Amino acid sequence: MRLLAQSQKDLSVISAMVQDAVTRVGDISYDKQSRQLIIAMNRFCWENGKRSVPARARAALQISSVLSVQQNGIAVVKRNGILSVLAVEFSEKTDIAPGGELTIILADNGTISISVECLDVALVDISGAWGAKSRPKHG
């Protein structure tokens, strides 16, 4: 799978594809020079449908045109700490339009807030799918 988001509508598709993805703190990389944030993750393959065998795929979420990154509720010193992605949202800021604030919402009240010059997000599968032990449950 390869998806690109440059609008709110596009981002809603990527958000759905990374819902219930898991990553390690050490798999989040921000390069100030290239202005890119990359998160390697194991995403749940929701596109296979609810009646299919549960599966996950290794994927990379790439956010470009990054101005700054702030983390809240994440123990960054625990590089092997597991984070679970709930959603990705964007709010346009008039002072830096067409840019704004991209927020990755994590379980346990964690967030990654990314100030971006413009909305430029890519999601790319970097492996084939493999069987998952279970399907995420939502209450």
* Whether residue 79 has pLDDT greater than 70: yes
pTM of the model: 0.91
- Give the residue-averaged pLDDT of 118-138: 92
Q: 10: Cβ–Cβ under 8 A, 6 or more apart, which residues?
A: 3, 4, 119, 121
What span, in angstroms and rounded, lies between the C-alpha atoms of 108 and 47? 25
pLDDT, position 128 = 94
Kindly list the domain boundaries of the chain, sorted by start residue: 2-129
Express each pLDDT in 13-43 by its tens digit.
999 999 999 999 999 999 999 999 999 999 9
